[in-house]
Structure 1
């Protein structure tokens, strides 16, 4: 172990010399990784915000239950208790017809004030569920109860919106996985070319008794440096671009229902890109070196 640690600086210098010696190949690999990592960063930022959008939409999904005008107060209390007893229901809030009319006047202007003497608004329950996928089922269940006129929750439009978010998010994750594989391939190919150009040197090292791990380490460092350098610019671009977009949109996308993740999220993505680039570089170079340096003493 001590010998391994002591040899690391030498392997690092050897890797730097090799990268400089094959500058054209190094720049080509870093450029290709830069593009893939930039796409990966954009997709990670988009995917994270889509997750946040989905959570916000699910939180906003409530069932608006209109109570029949002939339903008495005692029955309303029983209905509230019965609906609250459903395991999928998180909260039930009662709002009287007077409260509903006042809210209508407050939100839409005094033009509705003329209805105060003959209030057309029903008593309602606002029902919140734990999971958005249970809304449709609970709405039907509530609507079947005696004393309930109807139960609205936004219907197919909400379900379609959540479905679209899930499709986009899953698609982004699939593309990210593909980009990771592509990055691994690019680094493996670069290290393989580096090994071919140094075959004579490697043969000499093996003949004088160098162990396989000693021969392999410079290539591992090369892969790590290529991955790290190729991730630095995408990380910086993602952080700078997201910060600008966040400030320009004041933290919202289209409406206050779609709240963007804070700028700290972009810094986290930048760190993930750097770590992913370095680890993929290390893994890819290790695979290449292990495959093309299979010598037995």
Structure 2
């Protein structure tokens, strides 16, 4: 182990010497990593925000429970509220009387450009709306089960949460995320292949040097280390442009959209720390791709020459 650490300066020097000696091939391999990581950056930015969108969407879904007109006494309403609170996965229960429901309805009509004056005749005693409860759940995946339990209670007219549309949107987000992950995996394998070929060319160019090291009894790790460092450096070189791209492009996008994607329901992740995490992931992936590519290449060569 001590010998390994003592030899690190030599390995680093040998790695950089090889990179500059085969600069064209090194740039070609780094370019492949760059293309892969730029696309990976786009995917990570999209996936990170989709995860945030999904989380916000799941947590914003509430069950709107209409109370039957037969339940009008305050004592009956309080009893029903207590029963709702005992249902598993119910986080909170908020009562909204029919006048508050009417006010919310009028706000919706105004926001959609409708004629609010037409509905003003339904205020007060003429209000046809029902008293309601607004229910939040602790686990969004259990919302349908909670809804079914609510419907079992006496005095409940209906319980809705717009489940179909919310589930369709969440499913679409998940499909985009999964499809992007498969695409990035394919690109990563391509980058590993290109770096492996670059390291292989370097190995062939230094086969006499490697043969001498093996003849004098050099350990395999001593022979492998410079090539693995070279692969990591190439991977790091390939990550520089994607990191700059991530900071500049995402910052511009965030500011131009005002921090939200069309609606307040879909807030974008702020540049920091989200962008910083993405950049660290890009550098880590670039160096890992370089390390894996060089490891397989030099391993194959040493086995073949044994």
TM-score, length-scaled by structure 1: 0.93
* Residue 162 of structure 1: aligned partner: 170
* Residue 61 of structure 1: aligned partner: 61
Q: Does 1:275 align with 2:276?
A: no
| Aligned pairs, number | 297
How far has the Cα of 1:295 moved from its partner? 8.2
Counterpart-to-counterpart distance in 2, 1:84 and 1:107: 28
Q: CA RMSD in A?
A: 2.0
SS of 1:145's partner is coil
How far has the Cα of 1:260 moved from its partner? 0.6
Counterpart-to-counterpart distance in 1, 2:220 and 2:108: 75
Give unmatched runs, 5+ long, in structure 1: none
Between 102-111 and 6-15, report the one with greater CA deviation: 102-111
* Residue 103 of structure 1: aligned partner: 104
Q: Give the 5 Å matches for 1:204-219.
A: 204-219=212-227
Give unmatched runs, 5+ long, in structure 2: 111-115
* Residue 35 of structure 1: aligned partner: 35
* Residue 259 of structure 2: aligned partner: 251
* Residue 25 of structure 2: aligned partner: 25
Q: Does 1:126 align with 2:134?
A: yes
* Residue 150 of structure 2: aligned partner: 142
Between 278-287 and 193-202, report the one with greater CA deviation: 278-287
Whether the 8 Å contact between 1:191 and 1:223 is mirrored in structure 2 is: yes
SS of 1:294's partner is helix
SS of 1:162's partner is helix
How far has the Cα of 1:169 moved from its partner? 1.7
SS of 1:65's partner is strand
Whether the 8 Å contact between 1:212 and 1:295 is mirrored in structure 2 is: no
Counterpart-to-counterpart distance in 1, 2:78 and 2:188: 57
TM-score, length-scaled by structure 2: 0.90
Counterpart-to-counterpart distance in 2, 1:155 and 1:106: 23
SS of 2:66's partner is strand
CA gap of 1:105–1:296, structure 2 versus 1, over 3 A, is closer
Deviation sequence 1:166-214 (CA, Å, 0-9, x none): 2212222233333333332222222122111211121122223332222
* Residue 92 of structure 2: aligned partner: 91
Deviation sequence 1:44-84 (CA, Å, 0-9, x none): 11111100000000011011111112213333222212221
Whether the 8 Å contact between 2:87 and 2:149 is mirrored in structure 1 is: no
* Residue 177 of structure 1: aligned partner: 185
Whether the 8 Å contact between 1:183 and 1:280 is mirrored in structure 2 is: yes
Deviation sequence 1:92-134 (CA, Å, 0-9, x none): 1111112222333455456344332322221100011122232
Counterpart-to-counterpart distance in 1, 2:67 and 2:304: 81
How far has the Cα of 1:31 moved from its partner? 0.8
Between 283-292 and 215-224, report the one with greater CA deviation: 283-292
Q: Does 1:46 align with 2:46?
A: yes
Counterpart-to-counterpart distance in 2, 1:227 and 1:59: 39
SS of 2:18's partner is helix
